[in-house]
Chains A and B, each alone.
Chain A
C-alpha cells in the first residue's frame, strides 16, 4: 500500500487508450467516469436505485432504469401508459357461504339474522327428507307468506296465502328426498318488492304413476312488501324434518 506521510494514497496506472493516469487501490481518489473507458454507468444498474423493500426495477424508456415502489396489500401489477404500475383490482362478482343449517328433529327452521352485506341471496335446500312422513314445504321470507306464487311446474296456483313448493301431499307417499335451489334477488334493496325464484327436484317414493320424481320451478312475489329480508323460514307443514341441509350464500 503506497504511503506518503501518514495518509494512504492511491497508486496510478497508465491507460494508453485514453492517455490518462487512473488511480487504483486504497486512499481517497475519484474517477472521471464521463471520459473514462471504465465508465460502468452505461453497463450496470446501480444497486442504490432500489431504496425500499419491495422495489421493482423497470425501464422507463430504452436503457433507462427506473424504480417502482411496492404497491398496497391486495394491489396487482398492471400496465398504464406503457409502463408497469400497481393498481387495485376491480371487484368482480363473488359468492360467500353465510350459513349452514341442519334440517332434523323439528318441523320448522328459522334462519337469522342474515347479513345485509350482499346484493342477492342464494339458498340451497340439499338432500332434504322427511323419512316416511309426508310434508309440504312452506318457504317464507321474514317468515311471511308471499302474496302470489306461480308454479311453472306442478300446475299453477295463481294466488294464495301459503308458502312456496306446495307439494300436494298425496297419501301413501314416503321417503321423500330432494334438492331445491332458491334465488332471492335484491333481498335488502329498499323500494323493491321482494320475490324469490326456485327450481329443483325430489323423489317422492310413491308408487303412484307420475309421483315418483317431481321437478318444481316457479316464483313467489310479495306485493307491496319492500322490507329487507333478514330471516328465512322453512316449514315442513306437518311433520319433523328427518334430514337435510340448508345453505345460504351471499352474492355480490
Chain B
C-alpha cells in the first residue's frame, strides 16, 4: 500500500523535501480520521434526530414557530 506523501517546505531557503509519512504520522492520521468519522456521525445523527422531531411536529399540526411561541426551541 502506498503511503501518503508529506511535503516539508523550508521557508528559510525555499527548499522542499517530499517524503512518505512516517509511522508516527500514520498513527496520528488514523486517530484523526477516526475522530473525524465520529464527529461526522454525531453531526449526521443530530441532523437525523432534528428531521425526525420536525416530522413529529408536523404530524401534530405544529411548526417551529409554534414552539417558539411557547418559549421552546429557541
Contact = CB atoms under 8 A, between A and B. Distances in A.
Interface string A102-115: 00011111111110
A240 B7 CA distance: 11
Nearest to A163: B32
Interface in B1-31: 4-12, 18, 21, 25, 28-29, 31
A203 interface: no
A48 to B, nearest CB: 54
B19 to A, nearest CB: 9
Contact of A168 (B25, B29, B40): B40
Interface stretch (A154-162, A180-188, A194-202): A154-162
Interface in A95-148: 98-99, 101, 105-114, 136, 138, 145
A111 B12 CA distance: 10
Interface string A211-237: 000000000000000000000000101
A112 B38 CA distance: 31
A248 interface: yes
B8 A110 contact: yes
A145 B30 CA distance: 13
B11 A112 contact: yes
A161 B46 contact: no
Contacts of A157: 39, 42
Contacts of B67: none
A52 to B, nearest CB: 42
Contact of A237 (B7, B21, B25, B33): B33
Q: What is the predominant secondary structure among interface residues of chain A facing chain B?
A: loop
Interface residues of A, number: 31
Contact of B36 (A108, A113, A154, A237): A237
B23 to A, nearest CB: 14
A107 to B, nearest CB: 4
Given A161-B32, A162-B35, A109 B6 contact: yes
A162 B9 contact: no
A112 B8 contact: yes
B9 to A, nearest CB: 5
Contact of A169 (B10, B11, B18, B36): B36
B21 A108 contact: yes
A135 to B, nearest CB: 10
Nearest to B46: A155
27 contacts: A101-B9, A101-B11, A105-B18, A106-B4, A106-B5, A106-B6, A106-B7, A107-B4, A108-B5, A108-B7, A112-B10, A113-B10, A136-B32, A136-B33, A155-B43, A155-B46, A157-B39, A157-B42, A161-B35, A162-B36, A162-B39, A168-B40, A169-B36, A169-B40, A235-B29, A240-B4, A240-B5
Q: Which 5 A-B pairs have the closest CB atoms?
A: A99-B11, A107-B4, A106-B5, A162-B35, A168-B40
Interface of A: 98-99, 101, 105-114, 136, 138, 145, 154-155, 157, 160-163, 166, 168-169, 235, 237-238, 240, 248
